[in-house]
Every structure is written in C-alpha cells, then in structure tokens.
Chains A and B, each alone.
Chain A
Amino acid sequence: MSEYIIETDGLTRRYGQHVSVDHINLRVPKGKIYGFLGANGAGKTTTIRMLLSLIRGDEGSIRIMGQSLQRDREKILRNVGSLVEGPSYYGHLSAYKNLKIICMLLDLPEKDIDEFLDIVRLSPFARQTVKGYSLGMKQRLGIAQALIRRPKLLILDEPMNGLDPAGIQEIRNLMLSLCHQQGITIFLSSHILSEIQTIADEIGIIQNGRLIFQDSIQELEKKSTTRLLVRIENQQEAFRVLSAAGADVVLQEGELLISLSDEIDQARVFNILQSFSIQHMQELTVSLEDIFLNLTGMDGSL
C-alpha cells in the first residue's frame, strides 16, 4: 500500500497553446496537511479540478487512495470532501436543507447535519436562507458540505477566502484537529504563504504549471542561506579578503552581505575580519516568503 494518498504522474492540462499544468508529479502523504502553494494563475485550481475529475487531464495519471481516478471515480469521491473556488449552495434554501440534500444524494444520516453545522458555527443560522449569508458564512457552509461525508481526504481550494481573522483562526484549528485527531489528509491550496506555513506539514510549490518544489517545510527552510550584514571600515579590502577565502559576499551601499555556509560560518567570518574594525554585524533571517520568491524567481504575484 502506498504511503501517498494522492499520486499524479506527468499530469498535464493544456488550454489551446497554453500549458496550464505541466507534467506535475504530486506526492501527498497520508494523514498530513499538504500546502499547495502558487501565485495566481500558477495552475493550482486546474490541478485541483483534475484531482476531482471536474476536468480531464491531457496527459498523465491520477491515483487517489491507491486507485485510478479514471477507473474508480465514484468509489474514490465517496471518501473525498472538497471545496473548489467558493462553495456551491442553493441560495433559496437554508443551510440545513442544503446539507439535507447532500445527505440524500450521498445516502448519509440526516442526524449528522446539526453536528456539522455546529462545527462550522452555523447552528444559529441553520434555518435562514443561504442567500442572506455573509461571504464567510457561505464559506463555512462549503466546509460543512465537504466534511459531512466524513472524508478521508479533504481537498480545499483557498478555503480562507472571505473569512475574517477569527474565522481563519477557527478554520485553521479545525483543519489541524481533523488532521491530527481524525487522521484526515488535507490538500490545501493557497497563494497566502503565512496560511500554509502555519499548518502544513508538506508543501508543494507550483509555478507556471510546473511543480518546482515538493517536500516538508523544514526542507524548504533548509534551502535558505543565513546571511550576515556587516558594516565595516575599509569595505573594499574586507570584500577582497572574504572573496579570497571563498565566501559568497556582496558589497552593497557600504555594507557587506555574506552568505553563510558550512565552510564559511559565523566564527570563520569573525576570524577573517579580526584585523578589521567592525562597526555593526547582524544576522538576517529569511522568511518563507523570501524563499518562495527566490524559488519562483520573484516573478509570481502574491
């Protein structure tokens, strides 16, 4: 049995000449939160639509829970809850009736409705028609619709859209508890880095339809290089000495920016610069956003 709940091989989708998703090989581990990160138009939603069989891929294959999506679509989707680009709801019906329709369609027990309305804090408004709901309430209804079938895999496309900070926090906590307490795998797409950083165990970064990174957040952070900002007298000479020692150093606006590595660590820099008069030294920490921008060549719109 595979350790991955979602596996795609060479998944590709074209719209005319434009390649929206370009041979991506997703590996989503079971029981984890997988953050699918990418700028607007990078191909996140197209990928998700293919994972849910809303659109067909032009090339490649999708296996979910070890089964081929093409062959066992209905069997697979029975265990998949989803929210793609905003919730689907019948505006003229109440939240309760919307969930009741889902229970009817999927042969689920109606008694669960109240429990899930409670989870998403919609119980007080359960009998009101959904067309009068705020954007956040509709989004929460969408999450309840995805959860009510008690899925093994949740695929959520930008689920925080339209939520206020308290709502975001609540949904974040809900996702964490669903994953860690009930073992549900969550595939979460977003273009907001901080959203992914705080909850995801694994991360995939898509850029212009290509998966340019896929691993744990820790691995992503390792990609960063800690840098030292040094203000010093006689910068030209210090720059020459550091370069000669093999350090990756940049002289900018009278300051030296030194990238640290295993060979050139902080102690070694001190050693090299001991004959110079150091005025100021600061270690620069690199945020996930910097790493992301670095990986995507800083041309992604965030």
Chain B
Amino acid sequence: MMKRLFFAEFYKTRKICYIVPSVSAVVLILFTCLEWYLYFRQGDSGIYAGLNIIYMFLSFSMLLTISLLCSMVSETEHQSQGLKFLFASPVNRMAFYFTKAVWVILLMLWYSILVLGGFCLVWSLYTNKILPFSFLVKQIFGCLAASFPVLSIQLFLSISIPNQTLPLGLGVTGAISSLFLPRITQYDVLYILPWSYPSMSSPFIGGYTTWIAIAMGSGLILFVAGAMGFCSLEIK
C-alpha cells in the first residue's frame, strides 16, 4: 500500500513542489553570500563568519519552506476533492497521511542537500581555506531534524483545513519567530516551543544534540497525534 501511495503521490505532485525547495535553497545561499559580503567580510572571522549567517537564517528558510510544502501537497487534495475520493476508497488513511509526511521530508532533504552543496560550491570557488564540512552537515541536517515538530503541526493543519490561510499564516509567523525565540534570554520557557528547536539545534549552541533529541521525540508525538486526528476526520 505504501509503495502504491508513494508512486501515486509522485504522479500528482505539482511541479511547483519541486521548484519551491530549490528556489528556497538558492535564495538562502545567495542571501547569505550577500549578507557576508556586505557586513561580515572584513570581520575577524573572515570567511568563517558565513557559518554564523547560515545559522541566522537557516531556521527561518527551513520552516517557511516546510509550511509552503505542507500547504501545497495538501492543496492538491483540497482542490481536487481528492480526500473525498480517497476516504470513499479502500485506502488506508494512516498510510496516506504517512506518505504525505514522507513526501514533504524527502523534498526537505532535497532542499538540505541543495543548501549543503551550494555552500560547498561557493566556498570552494571563493577560498582555499579548509571547508568545515562536518560542521555544515550538523548545522543543516540538525536543523532539519529539529523542524520535525513544526512539520507535524503544519501537515495536520494544512490537510485538515481546506482554506490554507490559517496554516500558512501560522507557518510564516512560526518561521519569523524562529529568528527571535532562541535569542530571548529573559523567558527560557519560550525554548519549549517547537519553533525554537531548529535554532537551538545548531553546533554553535552547547548541548545542541539534546535539542535535536527533544525535537525528534516531540515531533513524533505530534505526528502520531496528527495522524490519528486525520484518520478520524469527517469529509463534509
């Protein structure tokens, strides 16, 4: 069933779903380069300051891309009234929901590989200094793993609500808040919000692996809750 659902998902996915993560990755790379060139180039850290800039904007870019992708893969079903057809067919609802999540994760993996590859390319073209490859890998894929709770929330909202204004609004707000939440030191309690996990899961932060583990755990709980909510959904 999963394999069939997956191929069907591949068939019906709009081209824009492949374009969005690609464009998003390119914009992040270009923006980071521009930011570094304009403001950080002459600093003490030199080229390595680029890693700080990635840290600043990666979570925003990643959460925004996740929100867009969740809305787009769900919108395909809402526009076509596909949920009505699927729910009236012998298709396992849990498997269907799981396939959607896997599809978004795969597209986000593509985004992460593009970001990683793009930075490696820019780095190798610009400087001969040693590329901190493992740091970059931890930075990008740690952020991706820590985005799992937000993905679970966005996917559930996008697929449950036909009007995408609310899920997208929450997605954009969450992505913007990820820029600030980890930097608010007065209210530590804000760190428990899922939107703060991607920024907290950077190798720049001490104990970042704990945050990745917390994010994965809470993401799994939210995902299972979302899947159960989806299974009990009524198609009006």
User: Which A residues are within 8 Å of any B CB, using their own CB?
Assistant: 49, 52-56, 73-75, 77-78, 80, 82, 84-93, 97, 100-102, 104-107, 145, 149
Contact = CB atoms under 8 A, between A and B. Distances in A.
A55 B92 contact: no
Given A84-B84, A101-B11, A54 B90 contact: no
- Assign chain B's interface to a size class: 20 to 34
Given A54-B84, A88-B85, A93 B11 contact: yes
Interface stretch (B2-10, B55-63, B177-185): B2-10
Interface in B26-57: none
B81 interface: yes
A49 B235 CA distance: 8
A56 B82 contact: no
Nearest to A55: B234
A145 B85 CA distance: 9
B84 A106 contact: no
Nearest to B232: A56
22 contacts: A52-B87, A53-B88, A54-B88, A54-B235, A55-B234, A55-B235, A75-B90, A77-B89, A86-B81, A88-B80, A88-B82, A88-B85, A91-B79, A92-B14, A93-B12, A97-B11, A100-B11, A104-B4, A104-B7, A104-B8, A104-B11, A105-B91
A87 B79 CA distance: 11
The SS class assigned to the B binding surface is: helix
Given A49-B235, A91-B80, A92-B14, A105 B8 contact: yes
Given A49-B236, A52-B88, A53-B87, 19 more contacts: A52-B87, A54-B235, A55-B234, A55-B235, A77-B88, A77-B90, A84-B88, A87-B81, A88-B80, A88-B82, A88-B85, A89-B80, A89-B81, A90-B82, A93-B12, A97-B11, A100-B11, A101-B12, A104-B8
A100 B234 CA distance: 26
B24 interface: no
B76 interface: yes
Contact of A90 (B76, B91, B234): B76
A289 to B, nearest CB: 31
What 6 A-B pairs are tightest by C-beta distance, nearest first?
A88-B85, A52-B88, A88-B81, A74-B90, A54-B235, A77-B90
Nearest to B87: A54
A77 to B, nearest CB: 4
B84 A88 contact: yes
Given A84-B84, A106-B90, A55 B236 contact: yes
Given A90-B80, A104-B4, A105-B5, A54 B11 contact: no
Contacts of A104: 4, 7-8, 11
Nearest to A73: B90
A72 to B, nearest CB: 10
Contacts of A78: 90
A86 B84 CA distance: 10
B96 to A, nearest CB: 9
A74 B1 CA distance: 12
Given A54-B235, A91-B79, A105 B4 contact: yes
A54 B82 CA distance: 12
A195 B84 CA distance: 25
A73 B87 CA distance: 10
A90 B14 CA distance: 10
